[in-house]
Amino acid sequence: MLIDLHAHTSPRSNCSRTTLEELVATARSRGLDALCITEHDVRWPDAELADASRLLGFPLIPGVELTTDVGHVLAFGPLRKPLWMGYTLAELVEECESSDTALVLPHPLRRFAGERAIKGGRVPPTAEEIVAFPQWEMVHAIEAASTQTTALEHSLTAAALAVAPRPAVGASDAHGPGLAGAYATDIDRVVHTAEDLAREIRAGHVRAVIAS
């Protein structure tokens, strides 16, 4: 099953310039089987997203991109605390120890080797330094590539994954039209819900791919 794990819609994510309908049209054109909607610090109501999925005739799975002390973290599955109260990564990890929620680290090197970091004169970390970051081992999977990360970030993430292998996913992190599915994740089994997806991520049954 081919799925895009990371996409944003306007106006629910104020950084996005694309609609749910546009995301689905692009994902469908690239041969994807499903799309995760992961707004910033807010989750679509389950019933509303299910209705949208039926109207568009395309599987849509809810998630959320949370702002934490180490940057953004994608969460798939239930969370106990109201999202507006915020989470640290340690709090997320502790909560997930007693739940089936899966955590994915998106754009893992943005702070260290992203465009702004490099322009600011920051020296990119080595693969060994990257895998020593606590968040590398604290999540269930690493986002290996997206449309919102640079070639340098992709190469450094690949080098770090070679040093300390982790389950890796691909995701568009779409903020504009035409981006959904550019990077995606191949999953061994068909998933229908966030809980199904979380189970496969936690089991490591995921592979990052560049969609056609």
Euclidean distance between CA atoms 12 and 27, whole angstroms: 19
Residue with more model confidence, 210 or 165? 165
Each domain of the chain, given as residue ranges in start order, spans 2-210
Reported confidence tier of residue 212, pLDDT bands at 50, 70, 90: low
pLDDT digits (tens, 9 = 90+) for 145-158: 999 999 999 999 99
Can you tell me which residue has the tokens 């749910």?
20
Whether 59 and 33 have beta carbons less than 8 Å apart is answered as yes
Question: What DSSP element (H or E) covers 88?
Answer: none
pLDDT digits (tens, 9 = 90+) for 88-129: 999 999 999 999 999 999 999 999 999 989 999 999 999 999
Fold classified for 2-210: TIM Barrel (3.20.20)
Instruction: State percent of the chain over pLDDT 90.
Output: 93
Instruction: Provide the whole-model pTM.
Output: 0.96
Whether 11 and 42 have beta carbons less than 8 Å apart is answered as no
Q: What is the pLDDT of residue 103?
A: 98
3-state secondary structure of 149: coil
Can you tell me which residue has the tokens 């992709």?
154
Q: Which amino acid is at 6?
A: H
pLDDT at 14 over 90: no
Both tokens of 166, joined, read 């982790």
Q: Which amino acid is at 109?
A: L
pLDDT at 82 over 90: yes
pLDDT digits (tens, 9 = 90+) for 48-63: 999 999 999 999 999 9
Can you tell me which residue has the tokens 């702004």?
116
Whether 69 and 101 have beta carbons less than 8 Å apart is answered as no
